[in-house]
Structure formats: structure tokens, C-alpha cells
Chain A
Amino acid sequence: MTVSTQSPALPQRPSRIAWAAQQRVLIALAALILFGALRYEHFLGAYNVLSVLRYNSMFALTSLGMAFVIMTAGIDLSVGTTAACACVVSALLSSYGLAAGLFGGLGVGLVVGVLNAFMVTRMKILPFIATLAGMLIASGTGLLLANNQSVSVSYDTDFTWLGQGDWLGFPVPGWIAIAAYVYGSVLLNYTSFGRAVLAVGGNEEAARLMGLPVDRTLFWTYVQSGLFASLAGVILAAQFGAGQPAEGVGWELFSIAAVVVGGTLLTGGVGSVANTLAGVLLLGLIFNVLNFENGLGVISLSAYWQSVVRGVFLMIVVMAGSGAARRALRTAAGPGG
């Protein structure tokens, strides 16, 4: 061995960007829960906890798909209208049973996802534009199928169990979301697909030169996002007993916000499944806390305030994150300095 041992002395650079983001969102979530628990009597009561989970499971699903897309440095604007379209289709099929409604809805996600993926990987259209097209197509299709009105869900079959049912005393949508997040976490951390997602997002050219299947990775990322979005749509139909073609508006923005709050960089390459969930819960709980606050009767805030408060939260998190990201990128770019 001829090599000298001086290299370990080369300075290491401090930049723990993903780590800081992780702390940030978990601390904020813990603080919000603590605040609610101390201030409101029934905040941690089973009823409140379960209904928060039941409702937010849908956002958790769209955000999970979005998280993977954003980790590849892409974006999926179509998740909201895909959910709406899937909601309508599954409502229309609900009279044929649970499986028909479920797989019919998932079919919508598959079609939109493949369409997005095809535009991004084969036609090399920017994800923003490609999924904007997917968003409009899904939205229009949903409205056409529903004749621009609410479609009632059949209560003759067990379809509504998907949204309203419980299993082992826990809401079914909650189980679905938990299963999805376990799957997502394993996929990201313990499969080569997950590593490829982060490599493509971190440096697409390098990933290509390393021989990673870049296009295949992107393809499945968009298909997966479509599938999770449509699963959220199926739950929406089952939970509210109606296929609502105009629902889902703004879900994509909520999802992007949750993913970003969860510390995933919009520039790709860094991200966490667990923190995405924390981001969803954080944004969801803000709404919940405002409801309780109104319930106390001291103040009376309209529901619109939730949007304002969420916006402020997002701003704070993004501001804190962008400083860290800039520092990190500067060190990474490094030679001149």
C-alpha cells in the first residue's frame, strides 16, 4: 500500500440539510399537538384523533405520490383532478361492489399517470406542463362523466366501507394510508428504485452516466403518483357517499405544501417519506386546531383563516429551508472557494 494517510485530514464541510429539515417539521408537529392537548379538552380524544386521520388520509396519499415525484425534481399538478375523476368513476361503479369501485377508480389514476409519464419521459415535456395537461384532461373527464353534478354512491354494496368503515377499531382510510406509508418508506430506503429516484433528482446527468434506468424510474414515479391520487379519490367517494367532480381542487397545492414542509427539496434529490406524513399532519392539524379554537367561543375565526395560517407556516418552513439549501449548494459547488 503506497498511499499516504493524509487524506482524512482534508476538511469536512458541515451541511446537514435533510437532517435540519427533519427536526424542523417534527418539532413543529410536536409543538402543535402539545398546544392542542393542553388547550382543548377533547383534542386527544379518540373521536377527534380518528376523524382527523380519516379525513387527512386522502391528503396523505396524494402527498406520498407527490413526494416521490418531487424527489426526482419533478412536479405532478394532476393529483387533485385525478382524485376527483377517480371519485366520480368509483361512485358510478359502486353499485357493482367494492372491488369494481376501487379498481375502476384506480384505473383512472393508472391512465392519467401513464399519460403524464409518457409525456415526461418520451416526449421530454417539462413535468409542470405535462402534468398541467394531465390535470385539465382529468378534470374535464370527471365533469363529463358526472354531468357536472354530484353522483351518489350506492349504499347497497360494501363500497362505503372503504371510507367510513373501521377495522380493529381504526378507520379503514387510516389503515390504507399507514400501509401506503410503510410501502413508501421501504420503497425509498430499501430498494434500488428508491435510490434511483433520489439519484435522478440529485443529478440526472450523473445518474444517466452511471447507467441507472433514468426514464424507467421517472415513468413509474408518475404512474405511482397517479395511482395514489386515484386511491384518495376512491376514499373520498366512499367517505362522503358521493362522487364529486369539483372536489380535489387545490389538493395538488396542499400536497406540494405538505411535501415541502416535510423537508423535501423542490430541486430534487433529498426527501423523506416519514416527514411527508408529518407535513400532512401538521397542515391538517392547523385546521383542526382552528375548529377547536372556535369551539371555545373566545374568538370566531372563519375557515378561511386556516388557509392563511397554512400559508404562513409554509412560508416560515420554506424560508428556513432555503437558507440551508443555499448553504449546502454553495459547499457542493465549491471549487473556487
Chain B
Amino acid sequence: MPSPSPLLVMRDIDKRFQGVHALAKASLEVQPGEVMALVGQNGAGKSTLIKVLTGAYSRDDGSITFAGQPIAFASPMEAQRGGVSTIYQEINLVPFRSVAENIFLGRERRRYGLLDWPRMNAEAAEILRRFAITVDVRKPLMDFSTAIQQMVAIARAVSFQAQLVIMDEPTSSLDEREVEVLFDVMRQLRAEGVAVIFISHRLDELYQVCDRVTVMRDGRTVMTRRMDEVDKLSLVAAMLGRDVEAVRSRETAFAAATGRAGGDVLSVEGLKVGRRVRDVGIEVRSGQIVGLAGLLGSGRTETARAVFGADPADAGAIRLMGRAVAPQEPADAIALGVGYCSEDRKADGIIPDMSVRENLTLAILPRLVALGVVDETRQRAIVETFMKRLAIKASGPEQKIRELSGGNQQKVLLARWLCADPKLLILDEPTRGIDVGAKAEIQALIRELADQGLGVLMISSELEEIVEGADRVYVLSDGRTVADLPHAQATASAIMAAMAHAGGASENADG
């Protein structure tokens, strides 16, 4: 529906961080009263583009026109006053304060110079009634469900007389029914002439509520289409930067499956954890690398964490080394021979100011302790063995780990689990943020470890890694296992087809 005057035009936006392009000639156009979907892989530049719009970042080049005027907001607050409101993925409100307060913070209604509580409460209730929500607005926000809290955030945003509301993954913490309420609200906003930019990783949602979609990749806008003119397959292909034809016509397998698989080290059935994991089934044998593929938010990491006992499962059966278990804590899983290298090396993995030696032996420290004292001779021997075996480049065992390169830090983390002699190693994005050379080394190392009998569950967003590395691939979508592909069938196109949840997935399942 081309309209003579678009509400928002962002043209040729450039943004560099330390010389690296985060945005390169990115463009976005939104009509009044339109719901525009903004999609892309992690790091595609969606958030950066939004932050440039709302003034959280300044742009290096390009122009923004909003409601006919060229604009350059200096801060999110200024953008809000100018008619652009943003709702963040995390609910950025104050849980201890009342619903009414959260709506009016920063622009309180006053009477005789003092706060006019009756009026604020009445107006807050009125605003929420527009969204068919009737709650006691005097109660603290945290008394209410996440959905209501999200609605309050939206009500706050809209009550600033916004002409454009940006929603950055607002559905990630909502259940299906709550998502429906949110969609009703979005449709109502559209009916009132308010434009919405909707960022979501759940493709199905886009089709329910969006008019058009803009796809970003590598800081560029690669596609803008009407939602009803684009199918999920081409959407996924555009996000991943693959040829649609390549997605349709499957390419040949890279290599024959190794097929040295031994006994089961892990089997998961009907796993359910919170809202992210609904029904996941996977199986890992010793000597096998099993890839776990899926788009962001499909429940990959959450599945891994449940197996490791970091987040106890709500339902389903987990068998480790053939024993039915329900790990409640990582220590339970570790005792059974499971190791877990998390996605975020910096946050959950390394302890930056400790030495390589200390970082490497953290997981087996209890075993190195005799009479309350760490047996340093044994510790040093273990550290030297693994530093040699994994070719960890450091000036010595005493070097602080933060001084090492990303690849070498990752090797230390691998070594941390390997020296505990695990049967199953879970690797969440093992090569993220690591340079090409080190990446190949680590991939080779993972293969070698599997050949020696280790079971590996590898989560990766990089299709090549899954396609080339995994002996068996499970594809998750929206918290469910949607495909189980042996190596020979696990092509990029098959995996993408499964991610898009389009026809092909079920045919390939159990192949």
C-alpha cells in the first residue's frame, strides 16, 4: 500500500565502530499506520539501526526523515517527545513501583505543585482500558504477570502520543495467549494510524500481524517486501544470505557420515523448560558430533542448559550414560561426566584475572585437593599436558587468561572440561568470535575428540559448521525438534527448510 508520504524514511545510514561498519547504507521506510517487521540474524544490524533512529547512537552518514521533517534525535527521551517510543525486550520499568507510577514517571500530573495521585491513577486506568486491561493501577507492577507488565510498557510508550512505536522482541517472554493480546494491541494501534516497527525472531508471528518486512544482513538492508508476497523459505534465505534456488534444490552432502557411533551418552525426550523449550527430543552417542541448529530463540541453549542441570526441566525424560536422571544442578551433570562450554565465554566461562593454570583446572579442583590443600604438582602436570595437547599459545601456565586470544581462551575452556574426562561435551557456539585460523584448529580438535570416543553436542548458528562438522543434526524451531537429519541429508538447504518450518522438514525427519 504505497502512500504518498511515508512516516519514516531512513536512507543510506552508515555507522562505524572503530572503523568497522555496523551499518552500511542501511535503509528503512515505514508508512503511517503500518506494521513493519524488521528481521535478520544476530549481528545483522537491527538494533544498531533502531538505536541510530532513537538517538542512542549517532550516525556517521545518511539521512532520517520523520513526519516530513529531517531529524537527528539526541537521546531516546528526545525521540519519545518527538513521537518515537521504544519498547525493549527486557521490560524496562520499575517493578516495585505502582502501575500508574510506571506509566507517568518523568511526566507526573501535578496539582498545586504536588503530585495529583487521583488524576494519575484515573488516567492510567483509562489508558490501560484502551488495551482491554483492567487492573488495580495502585498496586506494584511486580504483582502482575509478565504479559501485563509488557502491556504497561506499551501503554506507557503509546501514551506519549507516539506516531511510531518500536517493539524489540516484545514476545520473547510471553506465552501464546499473551502474544495474542499483544497482537490485538498492535492491530488497534494500526487502526489508530500509529506505525509499528516489530522485531522478532519468530517468523510465524510476522505473518500474523505485519504488513511488510525488511530483512537486514551484515549491516545492509537486503530486502523489503509485502508480507503476503514473501514465503518463509525466501525470508530465511534472505536472512542467511543464501540463494533461494540453493534452498529449494538441495546440494550434495559434504562427506560420508563416519558412523563409528557407540552407545548412547545422552537421550532426551519430550523436554520442556519454561516457555522456550516445549518439546525437544535429541540423542547423542559416544564418538558422535551432534549438531543442534535453529534460529535464535528456538530453544537450543535452553535445551543444553537443562541437560546440564543449569535450569531444571519442567517435564520430559533425560538419560545420561544410560541412566534416567533429572539434573537439578550442574554439579549433578558434571558428576555423570558432562561438560558444558557456554555461549558467552566472557560472562560465564573464563575468570579473566586468573591464570591459565587456575582457569584450566577449576572444574576438577575438588579432585586435586588433598587435606584441603591443592596438590600443585599434579595440577601443573595436568595443565602442561593439556596446554601441549591443545596447542594453547600462552607465555606459560601463569599468564592471565584475559591476555590470551579468543581462540586460545576457548581452548583453555575446552581443556577445563577435557581434563575432567567427560563422556559428553556440550559446546554452545564454540567458534563464535574466534579468528579463522583458530576456528579451524578448534573444529579439528572437536573432531579428534569425538574420534576418541567423546560424545559432542554442538550448538552453532553457522550453517557450515553444522553441515561439515556434525554426524547428525537436530533442528529446533520454537522450542520443538522439527527435524532429525543424518549427516548425508544434513545439507544447508535441508536445515534451512526445517528452520523455516516449511514442508520439507517433516519429509527429512527420521531419514
Contact = CB atoms under 8 A, between A and B. Distances in A.
Contacts, number: 129
A209 B89 CA distance: 13
A90 to B, nearest CB: 32
Nearest to B174: A335
A202 interface: yes
A2 B108 contact: no
A190 to B, nearest CB: 4
A164 B400 CA distance: 63
Interface string A177-192: 0000000001001111
B178 A2 contact: no
Contacts of A7: 131-133, 147-148, 151, 181
B72 to A, nearest CB: 17
A336 interface: yes
B274 interface: yes
Interface in B304-342: 311
Contact of A335 (B94, B139, B146): B146
A326 B143 CA distance: 14
A199 B97 contact: yes
A168 interface: no
A15 interface: yes
Given A6-B181, A211-B106, A332-B142, A202 B94 contact: yes
Give the one of B76, B94, B145, B148 with max A CB within 10 A: B94
Contacts of A1: 130, 132, 188
A18 B96 contact: yes
A205 B89 CA distance: 13
A-side interface size class: 35 or more
Given A3-B131, A12-B144, A210 B311 contact: no
A205 B311 CA distance: 26
Interface string A206-229: 110111100000000000000000
Contacts of A6: 177, 181
B105 A210 contact: yes
A192 B108 contact: yes
A335 B95 contact: no
B127 interface: no
Interface string B85-129: 000100011111100010001101010001101000000000000
B115 A202 contact: no
B191 interface: yes
B120 to A, nearest CB: 10
Given A12-B144, A15-B142, A337-B274, A4 B132 contact: yes
B452 interface: no
A10 interface: yes
Interface residues of B, number: 49
Contacts of A334: 146
Interface string B127-162: 000111111000110111111100100000000000
Given A3-B184, A198-B96, A207-B105, A191 B273 contact: no
Contacts of B93: 203, 206
Contacts of A5: 132
Contacts of A124: none
Contacts of B142: 13, 15, 328, 331-332
B271 to A, nearest CB: 14
Interface in B173-189: 173, 177-178, 180-181, 184-185, 187-188
B97 A198 contact: yes
Contact of B144 (A13, A186, A212, A335): A13
B275 interface: yes
A211 B181 contact: no
B145 A2 contact: no
Nearest to B80: A211
A233 interface: no
A92 interface: no
B106 A210 contact: yes
A142 interface: no
B192 to A, nearest CB: 11
A195 B76 contact: no
Nearest to B178: A10
Given A190-B114, A209-B92, A269-B96, A10 B101 contact: no
A195 B96 contact: no
A151 B389 CA distance: 74
B77 interface: yes
Nearest to A194: B115
Contacts of B151: 7
Give the one of A5, A10, A335 with max B CB within 10 A: A10
Give the one of B92, B180, B274 with max A CB within 10 A: B92
A335 B275 contact: yes
Nearest to A213: B106
Contact of A211 (B75, B101, B173, B273): B75
Nearest to A71: B96
Interface string A1-41: 11111111011111111100000000000000000000000
Interface string B495-508: 00000000000000
Nearest to B78: A211
Contacts of B184: 2-4
Contacts of B177: 6
A5 B110 CA distance: 32
| A-B CB proximity, top 5 nearest | A211-B77, A202-B94, A336-B274, A3-B132, A332-B142
Interface of B: 75-77, 80, 88, 92-97, 101, 105-106, 108, 110, 114-115, 117, 130-135, 139-140, 142-148, 151, 173, 177-178, 180-181, 184-185, 187-188, 191, 273-275, 311
28 contacts: A2-B188, A3-B132, A4-B180, A6-B181, A7-B181, A10-B144, A12-B144, A18-B140, A189-B115, A190-B115, A192-B108, A196-B105, A198-B97, A202-B94, A202-B95, A203-B92, A203-B94, A206-B92, A209-B76, A211-B80, A212-B105, A265-B96, A269-B94, A328-B142, A332-B142, A335-B146, A335-B173, A335-B274
Given A3-B185, A198-B101, 6 more contacts: A6-B177, A12-B139, A13-B142, A13-B145, A203-B94, A332-B95
Interface of A: 1-8, 10-18, 186, 189-192, 195-196, 198-199, 202-203, 205-207, 209-212, 265, 269-270, 328, 331-332, 334-337
